[in-house]
Amino acid sequence: MSDSSPGTVDLLGVLAYAELTAFLRLAEDAALLAPTLNDRAALGDVAATEYGHFRVLRDRLASLGVDAEEAMAPFVEAIDAWHAQTRPKDWYEALIKAYVGVGIAGDFYREAARHTDPSISALVDEVLTDESRGEFAVERVRAALDADPRLCGRLALWARRMVGEALSQGQRLAAARPQLAALLVGENGEDLAEVGRMFARLTEEHGKRMAALGLTPGP
């Protein structure tokens, strides 16, 4: 698929806006919810990384002759609605959202990128690398659960909500942008088996994140 095809531009546009809003929300959570200055600084570092990813995507769109604002515009309403519906009430909910909620959304984008030009797929993998965010969230959530195991039920429920809201967001985006939806299952768009395999991969990755947090038993 061409770098400048409508589906590819949609993918880069939605991912660019996702990264931009991730930066803004993480910075807000750092300022309002972080319990210590060290936590505020650490989450601020994660937010800065997200902004760097946004700049990479913006520059790639520009290299394709596409205005980043125009590419992002179709996705503003859905992504803003997701953030409004998943606003964390405390520090631990913010960590779960940053790791689980943003993580499963990223899994969708990776699935779509599998059916693009290799250079685009590599770019998507680059900007969705979440090692710093993942390590940050896992370390703090596990420490909190060790200190107060009663948190487990509430945070597991919140994580399930993140997944449900992310799936709803994905459905809204797919309905609004058919060319982006087509990337999710490639040439076998009507192959239910392929759709099933995709959701199996998404479920597996979500399970790994929950286990890493200590919210479900490991394998």
Amino acid 194: pLDDT: 67
Q: What is the mean pLDDT of the chain?
A: 86
Q: Which residue has the tokens 């509430």?
A: 154
Assess if residue 218 is contained within a domain.
Answer: no
Assess if residue 71 is contained within a domain.
Answer: yes
pLDDT category of residue 114 using cuts at 50, 70 and 90: confident
Assess if residue 142 is contained within a domain.
Answer: yes
**Amino acid symbol at 172:** R
pLDDT category of residue 218 using cuts at 50, 70 and 90: very low
For Cα atoms 171, 173, 178, give the angle at the middle one, nearest 5 degrees: 100
Q: Is pLDDT of 165 > 80?
A: yes
Q: Does residue 82 or residue 175 have the better pLDDT?
A: 82
Tens of pLDDT along 137-158?
A: 999 999 999 999 999 999 999 9
Assess if residue 1 is contained within a domain.
Answer: no
For Cα atoms 50, 52, 56, give the angle at the middle one, nearest 5 degrees: 115
Tens of pLDDT along 92-103?
A: 999 999 898 888
Torsions phi, psi for 191 (to 5 deg): -90, 105
Most confident residue range from 88-92, 113-117, 173-177: 88-92
CB 23 within 8 A of CB 98: no
CB 186 within 8 A of CB 11: no
Count the alpha carbons within 13 Å of 41 in the hemisphere toward its beta carbon: 3
Amino acid 55: pLDDT: 96
Assess if residue 187 is contained within a domain.
Answer: yes
Assess if residue 219 is contained within a domain.
Answer: no
Q: Domain containing 201 — which CATH number?
A: 1.20.1260.10
* Mean pLDDT computed over 162-178: 79
CB 30 within 8 A of CB 47: yes
In 3D space, the residue among 115, 101, 106 whose CA is nearest the CA of residue 181 turns out to be: 115
Q: Give the span between the Cα atoms of 55 and 29, in whole angstroms.
A: 21
Give long-range contacts, CB 8 A cutoff, 24+ apart: 70-77: 70/13, 71/9, 71/10, 71/12, 71/13, 71/16, 72/13, 72/14, 72/16, 72/17, 72/20, 73/13, 74/10, 74/13, 74/14, 74/176, 74/177, 75/13, 75/14, 75/17, 75/18, 75/173, 75/177, 76/17
- Which residues constitute the domain of residue 110? 6-213
pTM for the predicted model, two decimal places: 0.87
Assess if residue 117 is contained within a domain.
Answer: yes
CB 9 within 8 A of CB 180: no
* Mean pLDDT computed over 11-33: 94
Number of domains in the chain: 1
Assess if residue 120 is contained within a domain.
Answer: yes
Amino acid 170: pLDDT: 75
Report the share of the chain in percent with pLDDT over 70. 90
Tens of pLDDT along 32-63?
A: 999 999 999 999 998 999 999 999 999 999 99
